[in-house]
Structure 1
Amino acid sequence: MNQAFYTGIIGLQSQQAGIDVTSNNLANIDTYGFKSNGIEFKSLFENALSTGSGGSPVNSTVGLGSTLQATPTLMHAGSLMLTDSSTDLAIEGDGWFGVQGNGQVMYTRAGNFGFDASRDLVNADGQYVLGTLSNNFDANNVLTSKNTTTTMGNVDTQTSIKLPESLTYPAEPTTLTSFKGNLGQLDEVRKMGAKMVDANGNKNVLDLTFTKTVPQPAVGSSWDVVATASSPATLSTPSTLYDTQTGVLTFDSTGALVSSTLNSINNNGTTVNIDLGTGYNGIVSNTNTVTASSQSNGLEAGELVGYDINHNAEVIATFTNGRQVSMAKIGVFHFQNDQGLSQIDGSRFLESQNSGKPIFFQDANGNNILGASVINNKLESSNVSTEVGLTELIIFQRAYDANAKLVTTGDQMIQKALQMHR
């Protein structure tokens, strides 16, 4: 009678633990990166019964019930959900994001990140996301390098990602302008033009004016050219002339360019080489349709538009001139034993002696790499299965009811025994 009573109480405790764990899993079904807990029971000691035959197939023990042994964290990945934010990240494969808060580093699969008011990259709880900074801008928030990738540092050098609110992409002055076109054969003034950028980032204009040389050579043709570099005129500011250069272009009888004495011009302090081509590759003079085109290198300065995160976990700055630069790289940490991580809550973990220290994977050249695919505009959902969780909850509830009935029956048996004793 006592055995039935206590076995029922132990069963109630075990099934209640199962209900609690399963309920917690289901309650976090919408928590990004949540890792559910499994339930493991163990049998208590059993009393052996003596039997007449040692070879009897009938179990000769009486069990004393079971109790909760462990609630291991289930590390399989959840499904990926599409979002509309490029700062939302999901890891496809092995690995963890590192976040720092309350003086400790935690590891999570929840990649719902964003920039706070101070331009720090943080998670939904305001904890700092860890990675490698490019450190590619000066005290005036002007870029000092324009790399499109960031080399990941070592594990112990990962830091919070804080980016400037304003950032300037410096101008790249024009050093070469190329012209192509047909001057024709008629004795008419021809003009060509091109845009240039000076060292200060200003847009300037290169104008070429072609007139036929007098007298013309006996064979072929010859054109005089005047090149001017100046700032564009506006309603309030007149044009500023920076330089004027002259030259002569000589063509053969087929209109192919034989020689040119116009080589370069000064663009407000920067020398710009002028490429008019050779032969039929560049400027020609024949009876075909008159055409003109130009192409210049260089780039005007750009101001920061905003930050995004790409599929390589690079934090990318985009500028008004269309250029993009990598400002940081988010770290993806790995462990020898993920199961050994110490769970703080459903989606955040701490390293432990069982998990080992965090590491970075490396390529054949010894460079630190992500070791997994990082997908932006997606988040990893919890790994809880609604169908399985609800089914387990029903099973635990039925088992709880059965054990409650066992306790009631044991109590009734004790009462009967007491009544018989009287």
Structure 2
Amino acid sequence: MMTQAFYTGISGLKNYSAGIDVVSNNIANISTTGYRAYNAEYASLFEEALAGATSTVSPQSVGYGVRMQATAMSTEQGTLALSDRSTDLAILGEGWFGVRGDSNTIYTRDGGFNIDANADLVTNDGLHVLGTMGNNISADNVLTSILAEVALGDVNSVEKLRFPKNLTYPPEPTTTAKFIANVGVGYEPVTVGASVVDSQNNRNHLRLEFTKKAVQTPPGSQYDVRATVESLDGTTVYSTASGEVTFDGKGALASNTLTSINNNGSTIAINLGSGYDGMVSMDVPLVSGSSLADGTIGGDLQGYSISQNGEVLATFTNGKQSSVGKIAVFHFQNEQGLNRVSGTRFEESANSGKAFFYKDADGNNIIGTNIQNFRLESANYDMASGLTELIVLQRAYDANSKSITTADQMIQKALNMGA
């Protein structure tokens, strides 16, 4: 049995040495973005019974040393560090980013991403980030529709995300202009106006001038109205139109023949209201009128931002914003079963199960966590705990070394006795 002390001590040296390697690797990666620490777990080797059991005493036995049972991944949240890039992301909670090179999907907590020369969202070493595109960007980098949210596709249909550095928000020509004002009861012309947008991305001025007819037919009053669309500086007149407006005896709008005007290639519907909702003719002090016109001036991409639910939002110089894609966050039944490929990257295994997306109450795919931009997740390992664990393992290693030395001395004495 003295030789057994050798094997027991050697098992301790071997496994605690491996444990020191695990802790040392954790400490070495304390500054690695998205690093997942591993914890060494130990178990006793089988034991040999030396005596049969009695009714009151457990059987005597001797152990055969220790073995490393597993190196379990720590799933604790790492601290979030500030970054200066809007494409740097951190997952707050469960989940993994998916990235892809030429073949398999790799999963990582390292959200250090950037947009490369091909407009792809990639990792710092060129792997493509996966998600769902909004399909609202044309081949010539023009936004084709405004999306408040992009629905996350199926886990097997995720795609490489591409967000062009140059993106244009097309102009939306004005289609309707409504006017609200009082023309009074006098014969002085009254003018109201509205800012309108044409299809060439020009902001123009639509002016209405109301002139009371010289000859009135009671009850009520009648006006000539002339509409003009011109450039803001007044140097270019694009079109004019005329009509007649009639108010009843109480000043409410009764009829109007001016319904539309050409705005440098696009048509604007002119809405003067009805009844007292719009243009009126009343004997009260005149105040400035107002107008409401739709349409949006075009704009250029100002930048991208990412919301906490993974929406990639494009913001434009005209103040408009639209979602253009959604970053996928993958989940697993057993995160600790993932196989480490290298560094902070993992791949699914039989132990982890297949990647899946969470679903909301309506069955729609969701990321199931929060994402923060301008943030990176630090390693989820505590330096102080690591150094303490390193000391414990070192002492255990020294103790096993001492047990081998002791067993050697005992065997030497036994051999000397035989001599």
Q: Taking structure 1 as the reference length, what is the TM-score of the superposition?
A: 0.89
Measured against aligned partners, the alpha-carbon deviations of 1:147-199 in whole angstroms (never above 9, x if no partner) come to 23222222222221122232222221111111112233443232222121122
| SS class of match (1:147) | coil
Aligned to 1:129: 129
Q: Is the 8 A contact 1:132 1:159 kept in 2?
A: yes
Name the structure 1 match of 2:366.
369
Partner of 1:246: 242
Quick one: which of 273, 288, 306 aligns to 2:303? Answer: 306
1:9 aligns with 2:6: no
Moved more, 412-421 or 341-350: 412-421
Query: 1:7-406 residue pairs with structure 2 within 5 A?
Result: 7-50=8-51, 54-55=54-55, 57=57, 60-81=60-81, 83=83, 85-101=85-101, 103-233=103-233, 238-239=235-236, 241-285=237-281, 286-363=283-360, 365-406=362-403
Backbone CA RMSD of aligned residues = 2.6
| Structure 1 contact 152–369 (Cα < 8 Å) conserved | yes
* Larger displacement relative to structure 2 (92-101 or 9-18): 92-101
Q: CA deviation at 1:297?
A: 0.6
Give 2:39's aligned amino acid: G
Q: CA deviation at 1:260?
A: 2.4
SS at match of 1:113: strand
SS of residue in 1 equivalent to 2:23: helix
Aligned length: 417
Query: Which runs of 5 or more residues in structure 2 are unaligned?
Result: none
CA distance in 1, matches of 2:413, 2:99: 62
SS in 1 for 2:290: strand
Cα deviation, 1:41-96, whole Å, max 9, x if unaligned, reads 22224343348x83564762222321222212233433445555443333344322
- 2:39 aligned counterpart, secondary structure: coil
Distance in 2 between residues matched to 1:368 and 1:58, nearest whole Å: 56
Q: Relative to structure 1, is the Cα distance of residues 247 and 45 closer, same or farther in structure 2, using a 3 angstrom cutoff?
A: closer
CA contact (8 A) 1:177 1:274 kept: yes
* Aligned partners of 1:183 and 1:290 also within 8 Å: no
Secondary structure of the residue aligned to 2:352 is coil
Shift of 1:363: 4.1
Q: Is the 8 A contact 1:86 1:310 kept in 2?
A: no
TM-score, length basis structure 2: 0.90
Q: CA deviation at 1:214?
A: 0.4
Mapped contact 1:176–1:275 kept (Cα < 8 A): yes
The CA distance in 2 between the partners of 1:72 and 1:399, in whole Å, is 20
1:17 alignment partner, SS class: helix
| Conserved? CA contact 1:183–1:291, under 8 Å | no
Distance in 2, matches of 1:232 and 1:45, equals 91
* Letter aligned with residue 279 of structure 1: G
Query: Residues of 2 paired with 1:5 and 1:363: CA distance?
Result: 59
- Provide the C-alpha distance between the structure 2 equivalents of 1:4 and 1:139, rounded to a whole number of angstroms: 74
| Contact 2:88–2:112 under 8 Å retained in 1 | yes
Displacement after TM superposition at 1:107 (Å): 0.8
The CA distance in 1 between the partners of 2:101 and 2:357, in whole Å, is 21
Whole-Å separation in 1 of the counterparts to 2:31 and 2:57: 49
Task: Give 1:389 shift.
Answer: 2.5
Q: Distance in 2 between matches of 1:117 and 1:86?
A: 17
Task: Verify the 8 A CA contact 2:252 2:275 in the aligned structure 1.
Answer: yes
Q: Quote the Cα distance in structure 1 between the aligned partners of 2:286 and 2:228.
A: 25
Q: Name the SS of the counterpart of 1:156 in structure 2.
A: helix
Q: Alpha-carbon deviations, 1:108-143, whole Å to 9, x = none?
A: 222232223332112233321111122223232222
The verdict on how the C-alpha distance between 1:311 and 1:50 changes in structure 2, with shifts beyond 3 A counting, is closer
State the Cα deviation string for residues 331-350 of structure 1 (Å, max 9, x = none): 12223333322112352211
Question: Contact 1:307–1:318 (CA<8 Å) still a contact in 2?
Answer: yes
3-state DSSP of counterpart to 2:94: coil
* Residues 334-377 of structure 1: CA deviation (Å, up to 9, x unaligned): 23333322112352211122323322333455433323333434
Matched letter for residue 6 of structure 1: Y
Q: Does the Cα contact within 8 Å between 2:260 and 2:268 map onto a contact in 1?
A: yes
- 1:291 match: secondary structure: coil
Matched residues, percent identical? 52
Question: In 2, are the aligned partners of 1:49 and 1:62 still within 8 Å (CA)?
Answer: yes
* C-alpha distance in structure 1 between counterparts of 2:24 and 2:102, whole Å: 28
- Give ranges in structure 1 of 5+ residues lacking alignment: none
Mapped partners of 1:45, 1:293: distance in 2: 90
